[in-house]
Structure 1
Amino acid sequence: SRSRVQHSKKLLDRKESANKRVYGVVTEDLSHGLENVPVRVVNNVDLETISDDFTYIKRNAIHSTLQAKRKTVRKCNCKGNCMNNSKCPCRNAYMDHDKKFPGKDKVLHNVNEVDTIYECGEDCACSKSCCNRFSRGLGIKVEVFRTRWKGWAVRALEDIPQGTFVMEYVGEVLPHQCCSDRDFCYLFNLSDEVVIDPKFKGNVARFMNHSCTANLHGVRSVSNSGVQGDTRITFFANQHILKYQELTINYGYTPSRPPGICIPCRCYSPACRQILV
């Protein structure tokens, strides 16, 4: 019948369109201009594309119940850079915790020893180029690519020195009680009460894979409000990373899996612990 022929033609057109994307670029910019640099997606493996259910966001989308509790607890009135102002509350909060304030290069020189940084936030008066403003968008050029065994992955498109900020883990910031029907594989704990979920709304960090010897180090970033949702998860290079090297994180940084669930690890690192989560 005519309707059956039309349906077959639509399927053929869809297949031909997908085939054109296999050995090339799926999209030139996953972020649709939100990031400082375009985030290209390539697939040379299969017909898979990025899910239509995914929306790219540059900043965390904080749940309304958390947003309502927002209040500023610390902000600076510095002019320009906070580094040389000994009275800066943000600088002093950082120094009290870490004893080593970042330099003008914004590099964490002791990155593998750092678990929390205290950044200047949106309410601070200092310059947007202040050395205490690390995580504002994507830090380096990256590309999402398709792998044969691990689905999507992310790789560097430039060399990354150790200690360099790479990206934030962006997503929906939700109270734990709102996550009973969420995919736990994407969840990162911000605290015992709050999680980040990038499955449907997130940034390029959503596509990074786990490695038992990850080359990115997770650091909590605390800014100038009293809301748990304003605490963010940031990733810095814990070693010198070469151009085209895959960027990996350790999912064990903030485990969120339900009890009794075990997923085998396929990172194939010499130090692989055999269990992903």
Structure 2
Amino acid sequence: MEGGMARYLKECRVSCKYSWDELQALCRKQKLVCKQLAVAEDDFNDYVVDYLCNYKKIKSKEYFLVKWKGYSESENTWEPHKNLKCPQILQQFRQDMCLALLYAKIPPDSSSLDASAVSFILQRAKQRVKLRRWEEDLNRICQHKGRIFVRNDVDLDGPPRDFIYIHNYKIGSGVVLNEAALGCECTDCINEPVNGCCAGASDNLIAYNNNMQVNIQPGMPIYECNSSCQCGIDCRNRVVQRGIQYDLCIYKTANGRGWGVRTLEKIPKNSFVMEYLGEIITSEEAERRGQMYDQQGVTYLFDLDYVADVFTVDAAHYGNISHFVNHSCNPNLQVYNVFIDILDERLPRIALFTTRAIRAGEELTFDYKMTIDAVDAESTKMDTKFSLAGIADTPINRIRIECKCGAESCRKYLF
């Protein structure tokens, strides 16, 4: 009984009665350092600008209404330009002010702002604060080298609601995982594999070269070394388990495709980028949820059909950065099935590798209706209803969504 109660309480969450700003203020007043609230020791004696709320010019001198970090809005103060040591915040404010004046059809050299302009600037400032906090939360949760950044220069949307970022599969009801019991005894798994290393034990090829780039055809499985192996984390047959290695950015697209993901670094061809993570559920539960997603016009169901269509990954409410990757009919990412600690062929990990070299700033995409013309082609067949509600197989019941990928080979519709 006690064990069951402990497990129940572990999943329990209680909302805090204090706001973020109130908690920051309490920490500052009590001189408590809190990394989660971004309160450092340097903040105890110095006032830090959170964002700027308003603007006015008096006798050619500029004044800004300042929201101070860790203090409530009732404690905002007007400060002359010379008192502000925050060039980036000032630059962002001026950009927002120019847009606000443009929308309100007010001359750009106005000495004050009207209510609509102030409202727009305040919404933009609060949006940035929310996105910055979300960005900090994502990087605190993540356990990999690559950092995640968040940008929205398109609209006033903040972080997505009802979405929890995870760094490993969430196990749903009715799913039982059996971890690997055997490991390799290699000292150099790539160049001198003992008995074929982990891949050889499963009658498969080692998937990576010395640069940890995939060198097998799509559709073939990848077997990485696991926690029972004698080799260490530096082993070159440990790629997917290292996590994201490149700095990536979740950003709002400007052509109506919602959020997307772009790389901030150059990524070589055949390199691992990210896993597709979510909640592992049974195919029966996937069908039930799919019918529910029909009403919403979107789904994130991905069948794990390497040997049998038994389990599905649902990234709608639990997932990682792959949740935000958009579709393209000419993608730069390719799906592979990967096995590490769990060798159950019904439960592969879904890894995304580059199909070509990707330049910094380029959007990352994969084909939502991907099929592979290779041996074991069924092993990486994507759920044909991925990103689209509609479990029903009858074409008359299927919703047709226009594809906006912009590729020359675009199929015009996702499905």
Q: When the two structures are superposed, what TM-score results if normalisation uses the length of structure 2?
A: 0.57
Distance 1:52 1:104 in 2: 42
Indicate the residue corresponding to 1:271 in structure 2.
409
Indicate the residue corresponding to 1:6 in structure 2.
none
C-alpha deviation, 1:204, in angstroms? 0.3
8 Å Cα contact 2:244-2:274 kept in structure 1? yes
C-alpha deviation, 1:227, in angstroms? 3.4
Structure 1 pair 51–23 and aligned structure 2 pair: CA distance change class (3 A): closer
Indicate the residue corresponding to 2:246 in structure 1.
140
Range 76-85 or range 126-135, more displaced: 76-85
Aligned length: 262
Distance 1:212 1:247 in 2: 12
Instruction: Please give the per-residue CA displacement for 1:180-213, whole angstroms capped at 9, x wherever unaligned.
Output: 1243631111121111111111100100000000
Instruction: Please give the per-residue CA displacement for 1:61-89, whole angstroms capped at 9, x wherever unaligned.
Output: 1224222x5253x6324254422123254
Instruction: Please give the per-residue CA displacement for 1:89-121, whole angstroms capped at 9, x wherever unaligned.
Output: 413147x434x54223110145x5454211223
Structure 1 pair 212–115 and aligned structure 2 pair: CA distance change class (3 A): farther
Structure 1 pair 21–42 and aligned structure 2 pair: CA distance change class (3 A): farther
1:190 to 299, 304, 327: 304
Q: Tell whether 2:233 aligns with 1:128.
A: yes
8 Å Cα contact 2:208-2:214 kept in structure 1? yes
SS of the counterpart of 2:312?
strand
Show the 5 A alignment for 1:30-179: 31-33=138-140, 34-36=142-144, 37-67=146-176, 69-72=177-180, 75-78=182-185, 80-83=187-190, 84-93=192-201, 96-98=203-205, 101-110=207-216, 113-136=218-241, 137-148=243-254, 149-179=256-286
Structure 1 pair 81–202 and aligned structure 2 pair: CA distance change class (3 A): farther
Gap regions ≥5 residues in structure 1:
1-8
1:214 to 305, 326, 331: 331
Show the 5 A alignment for 1:237-248: 237-248=354-365
Indicate the residue corresponding to 1:255 in structure 2.
383
Distance 1:23 1:147 in 2: 16
Indicate the residue corresponding to 2:51 in structure 1.
none
C-alpha deviation, 1:35, in angstroms? 3.4
Q: Tell whether 2:337 aligns with 1:234.
A: no
8 Å Cα contact 1:25-1:43 kept in structure 2? no
8 Å Cα contact 2:249-2:263 kept in structure 1? yes
Distance 1:88 1:101 in 2: 12
- Normalized per residue, the structure richer in helix is 2
More relative contact order, 1 or 2 (CA 8 Å, 6+ apart)? 1
Indicate the residue corresponding to 1:205 in structure 2.
322
Which of the pair has more CA radius of gyration? 2
C-alpha deviation, 1:54, in angstroms? 1.0
Distance 2:126 2:364 in 1: 23
Distance 1:175 1:32 in 2: 30
Indicate the residue corresponding to 1:5 in structure 2.
none
Instruction: Please give the per-residue CA displacement for 1:229-267, whole angstroms capped at 9, x wherever unaligned.
Output: 641110001001000000001101312422232322111
C-alpha deviation, 1:140, in angstroms? 1.4
Distance 2:332 2:197 in 1: 32
Q: CA RMSD in A?
A: 2.8
Distance 1:160 1:113 in 2: 19
SS of the counterpart of 1:87?
helix
SS of the counterpart of 1:181?
helix
SS of the counterpart of 1:92?
helix
Q: When the two structures are superposed, what TM-score results if normalisation uses the length of structure 1?
A: 0.84
Q: Tell whether 2:134 aligns with 1:26.
A: no
C-alpha deviation, 1:133, in angstroms? 1.4
